[in-house]
Each structure stands twice: as C-alpha cells, then as structure tokens.
C-alpha cells in the first residue's frame, strides 16, 4: 500500500516535469487496441512479463505468446500492483534480473 506522501511524490514528478500526458499515452493506445484482438501488433524483441495480481489489466500467457513471439520470461508474482517498483523495489529488481538472465549468452 502506498502512503499519501508516495502518491503525492509521483503526481508531483509527472506534473513538474510535464510528462503526465506522454505517460498516459500508453493507456490511450492500449484502449484503442482492445477491439483489435484478432490483429495484435507483434513485438519481435525479447520480452519479459511479470504479472502482478493487483494490476488493472493482466494479460494471459497465451495472449502474450501471440503478441510477443520472443517471450523469454513470464512470471505471475504473488503480490503488488501497478506501482510494483515503488511498492516492493526488491521484488521488482528480482523480476528484472530474472528476465535479464534469460538474455545472457552462454559463455
């Protein structure tokens, strides 16, 4: 659970840097794609997905495999939500490192 100060810090960061609109653009674009499930945009780069249970939209792995043909990391985490990096930084870093390990080339 985020404290009031943490929430205000986040809002202030976006407000003072003028990045609220550009950060919200992702959600606008995603809403436009919801009706196009039969024509998902494919991302060919290596992708890692950590699904947090309190996130508003949680993709299924079968859907993610269609959109991300190079899905190299998938994990459904037991806690956190949309602000996982703020709520549980150590957990977020573990997830990021687990994905990065999948990208390493064998020595």
- The band of 47, judged by pLDDT with boundaries at 50, 70 and 90, is very high
Q: What is the 3-state secondary structure (H, E, C) of the chain?
A: CCCHHHHHHHHHHHHHHCCHHHHHHHHHHHHHHHHHCCCCCCCCCCEEEEECCCCCCCCCHHHHHHHCCCEEEEEECCCCCCCHHHHCHHHHHHHHHHHHHHHCCCC
- Is 35's pLDDT higher than 70? no
| pTM (predicted TM-score) | 0.68
* Average pLDDT of every residue of the chain: 85
Residues 37, 67: contact at Cβ < 8 Å? no
**Average pLDDT value for residue range 100-104:** 94
pLDDT at 70: 94
Burial of residue 49 (CB within 10 Å: 0-12, 13-18, 19+) is middle
pLDDT at res. 57 = 78
Terminal alpha carbon distance of the chain: 41
Which residue has better confidence, 21 or 42? 21
């Amino acid at each position: 659970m985020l404290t009031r100060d943490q929430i205000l810090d986040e809002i202030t960061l976006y407000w003072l840097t003028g990045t609220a609109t550009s950060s919200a653009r992702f959600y606008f674009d995603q809403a436009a794609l919801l009706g196009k499930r039969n024509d998902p945009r494919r991302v060919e780069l290596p992708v890692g997905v950590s699904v947090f249970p309190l996130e508003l939209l949680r993709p299924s792995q079968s859907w993610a495999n269609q959109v991300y043909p190079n899905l190299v990391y998938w994990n459904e985490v037991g806690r956190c939500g949309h602000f996982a990096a703020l709520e549980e930084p150590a957990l977020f870093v573990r997830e990021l490192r687990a994905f990065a390990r999948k990208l390493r080339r064998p020595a």
